[in-house]
Structure 1
Amino acid sequence: MEKQQILAELTENPKIIDRLIYQAVFEDRQLLSVLHEALKDLGIKGYSIYPLYQRFSKKFLGFTVPAINLRGMTYDVARAIFRTAKRLSAGAFIFEIAKSEIGYTKQPPLEYATVVLAAAFKEGYRLPVFIQGDHFQLNRKSFFANPEKEKNNLKNLIKEALSAQFYNIDIDASTLVDLEKKEISEQQRYNYEVTAELCDFVREIEPTGIKVTLGGEIGEIGGKNSTPEELRAFMKGLKQTLKKEEGISKISVQTGTIHGGVVLPDGKIAEVKLDFKTLKELSKIAREEFGLAGAVQHGASTLPEDYFSLFPENECVEVHLATAFQNFLYDHPALPAEFREKIYRYLKENLKHEWEEGLSESQFIYKTRKKGFGAFKKDWWDLDLKVKKHILEDMEGLFEKIFLKLNLKNTESLIKEVFNL
């Protein structure tokens, strides 16, 4: 199907976007790029959040931007997010997918971006859509075995993401931090050197007129808490190593969370003790000493609801949310039990090698069920409409609570001002 034909059909009958995006994902992969371009021509496109983060770098604006990872039912869940945003007049939120998620959810950048943009079109959302590459990460073992090969692999992913309108990218070289080194600057050396190289690479290939928003990371999520000394060592090393003038706009820190939370043998999630004092201190240092928008918090979606209002209170610029939405889909009472069990059987049969000694069945399922989204992508999309309606109505309620706690209500006018809309 040609782009002009798609444009004509979407203009005449916008409802056909449901059929077109389904066809592009499951039947005609070549249609993805055509639909991607057609939506862009209609003004539904990816934006860099850079201009907003420039505002944050001068003064904390009173709200925290959620970066939401969609692993399954992406089109439907994105639509629910856009509906929530329209209801609250909210405009500052990001759709993201991590390097690892691209693999196990079977959502390459072009597909992910096109699905999200199609959802925006469907819901009549006409503010900027921010799409982000989350944890574009270097594998430590692979890097030290062959640094150039590992860096080139990541550069190729960055190229692919940029071509799909991912104009926000979080570079994660925190896996290369060496805590055995005595000097903090030496601990962070590989981290800031590789981050600088990748920043320079992005600046060389970013589209004309678009300043891609880049993030860095000083401590691997799930490790020890980050310190002001680590932040300063990383930023000073980064600034000295960069060849291009523009580096990162934000910095991810470790303050006590772990991706997905810690699941107990009975399947319940352990309580997390998040260090908000450190988060606020690091955010202030990032902003006041280095001109960044602030600190970014990962692995926060499994925290109690009461915690979310503490992110803007402690001047956190961005918070990453993923596992809670995955859990919401799997654990919702409307999801047919036989469908859930079919996925769990698949995991137990096909991922036995990931069942570590000492893990209960509940822990194994919790750890691996994220991989049920890729293996059963079409099944999730094809769920009965009544089932999806129950799940998504409740999910909208969850998004609304989070958006309100993060002070996103009525941010639409600011977004229009910042982006001259």
Structure 2
Amino acid sequence: MVNTAATTADGLELFSRPAVRSLLEEVRESVRVSDAGAFELVSADALRADGIDRLAHDAALSDNEDRRDTARWLILQAGRAVGIAPASIHELYMARGRGEITGFTVPAINVRAASFDTGRSLFRAANELKVGALICEIARSEIGYTDQRPMEYVAVLMAAAIKEGWTGPLFVQGDHFQVNAKKYKADPDAELRAVKDIIREGLHAGFYNIDIDTSTLVDLDRGSLDEQQHLNYTLSAELTAYVRKYEPAGVTVSIGGEIGEVGTENSTPEELRAYMDGYVRALAEVSAKVGKPVAGQSKISVQSGTTHGGTVLPDGSIADVAIDFETLRTLSDISRREYGLAGAVQHGASTLPQSAFGNFPAVETAEIHLATNFQNILYDHLPSELRELMYEHCRQNFQDERKPSDTEEQFIYKARKKALGHFKRDLWHLPEEDRERIRAALYDQFVFLFRQLAVENTMDIAQKYVPLPEVPRATPADLRMKAAADDWDLSD
């Protein structure tokens, strides 16, 4: 089993260490910790003016583990004090499945780089437009190449929300917690263990929304749709049970499934029903094995014509996409009427034409995932010297990803996401005028998207359906994962 909590004595001892005492002294006008380990918010104004910047920086970049984890703990405590906490969107989505909520599409924003600045732009726009139906997410693959482990990700984005005065349930999502088909074929147990490990780490950090993606294992060479989807829905049910076993008390994690890998053929009603009927059966079997009902998914990802990052043309521009909105309308309707889900989820959408986004709420798409265009905006507004350093890093380190037919522009466009983690510190330490220029451009895009997706004035809705959960974190030591996920499975 994982031991995630230190003893009281060990936890309190951490506050006496020099690096931690130094941090507490630096933010003493904002927050303090008593000798007994109790957190106190001294001044919300001082916190937003300066203290949260210091804490966010150390939460992401400090080389001292004690200082880093204390900064993260202080951010979580401060967030709770001002009305922010990691939460699950499950109950809001269930209400949508019952028809109580309609008319908007929840944006799920992949924050890959310059996360504090990107988060500030995001929550500034959300605060001004009163947006509460909003998800921040990061995929299993992105965690690696952006160098952002889940605990860092939650802390930095909460810090950004604090900085901008936004409050409410903070929906942080593990996007594409995906089974790699090649690795699964070579060693199924090891690949499932890797997915369970990242699920467990995400839950520990505050990822109370998780998209389980086993759609990579759909076998279109099998005869019937049920056979094609069998491994997909069976493993989805197993991983659902795994999430339920380890989710915090009082939290029902929002779980998503997927019926077709993004970039493949468009999904059909028959595929949706084959997956969902199989999933319902498999989940009933899982429930029988564990001896209690296991809550299921809240949404379903489908394919309607997009690809992740868009299709890159030889000059580096993005090809227009003919997205099938009627597929989204039909599959969203079926998922609500027949299975009680919030609706269909659209992936790979950030590079669509600006005129397309207003169609998503019109066809009652539940959720839309947006990533690459924010990365594009970042690169477009970087100082040219840093941008060229990052491109050269790609040329030196990722040539094996260049296809023989790729132009230089195509290669750079597809590879440059891999430079983000290596240059995380450089992006954070840009001059303030450069950071403000990036924030302004991102803010404009977030305002546009929020309006197009009709999520203005959803703050009250989010708070109505999702009260802030209580997940105790007694000391910074409680944030540390001491081991990988245990070996619990359905045979226990």
Task: State the TM-score, normalized to the length of structure 1.
Answer: 0.96
| CA apart distance, 1:411 | 1.0
Question: Which residue in 1 is equivalent to 2:397?
Answer: 350
Give a deviation string over 1:253-299, Cα, whole Å, max 9, x none: 00000000001001110000100000110000001001111000000
| CA apart distance, 1:341 | 0.8
Question: Equivalents in 2 of 1:18, 1:64: separation in Å?
Answer: 31
Flag the 1:33–1:11 CA change in 2: closer, same or farther, 3 A: same
From 335, 338, 341, give the equivalent of 1:289: 338
The residue matched to 1:128 in structure 2 has which SS?
Answer: strand
| CA apart distance, 1:182 | 1.3
Which protein is bigger by CA-based radius of gyration? Answer: 2
Structure 1 gaps, min length 5:
none
Question: Which residue in 1 is equivalent to 2:146?
Answer: 105
| CA apart distance, 1:420 | 4.8
Question: Equivalents in 1 of 2:444, 2:364: separation in Å?
Answer: 25
Question: Equivalents in 2 of 1:324, 1:253: separation in Å?
Answer: 21
Structure 2 gaps, min length 5:
1-13, 34-40, 288-293, 469-492
The residue matched to 1:71 in structure 2 has which SS?
Answer: coil
Question: Equivalents in 1 of 2:162, 2:74: separation in Å?
Answer: 11
| CA apart distance, 1:354 | 1.1
Question: Equivalents in 2 of 1:31, 1:158: separation in Å?
Answer: 25
Q: Check conservation: 1:298, 1:321, Cα contact below 8 A.
A: yes
| CA apart distance, 1:33 | 3.3
From 347, 370, 376, give the equivalent of 1:327: 376
From 236, 244, 252, give the equivalent of 1:211: 252
| CA apart distance, 1:416 | 2.5
Ranked by relative contact order (alpha carbons within 8 Å, sequence separation 6 or more), the top structure is 2
The residue matched to 1:392 in structure 2 has which SS?
Answer: helix
Question: Equivalents in 2 of 1:91, 1:285: separation in Å?
Answer: 26
Question: Equivalents in 1 of 2:245, 2:397: separation in Å?
Answer: 42
The residue matched to 2:307 in structure 1 has which SS?
Answer: coil
Question: Equivalents in 2 of 1:359, 1:162: separation in Å?
Answer: 39
2:130 corresponds to 1:89: yes
RMSD after superposition: 1.5
Give a deviation string over 1:92-130, Cα, whole Å, max 9, x none: 100000000000000011111111111112222221111
2:410 corresponds to 1:363: yes
Question: Which residue in 2 is equivalent to 1:56?
Answer: 96
The 10-residue stretch of structure 1 (405-414 or 62-71) with the greater mean CA deviation from structure 2: 405-414
The 10-residue stretch of structure 1 (117-126 or 397-406) with the greater mean CA deviation from structure 2: 117-126
The 10-residue stretch of structure 1 (10-19 or 337-346) with the greater mean CA deviation from structure 2: 10-19
| CA apart distance, 1:216 | 0.3
Question: Equivalents in 2 of 1:188, 1:37: separation in Å?
Answer: 42
Question: Equivalents in 2 of 1:278, 1:25: separation in Å?
Answer: 41
The residue matched to 1:110 in structure 2 has which SS?
Answer: helix
Give a deviation string over 1:330-376, Cα, whole Å, max 9, x none: 113xx211111111111111111111111000000000001111110
Q: Check conservation: 1:88, 1:409, Cα contact below 8 A.
A: yes
The 10-residue stretch of structure 1 (156-165 or 142-151) with the greater mean CA deviation from structure 2: 142-151
The residue matched to 1:371 in structure 2 has which SS?
Answer: helix
**Partner amino acid for 1:152?**
R
Task: State the TM-score, normalized to the length of structure 2.
Answer: 0.83
The residue matched to 1:136 in structure 2 has which SS?
Answer: strand
Question: Which residue in 2 is equivalent to 1:179?
Answer: 220
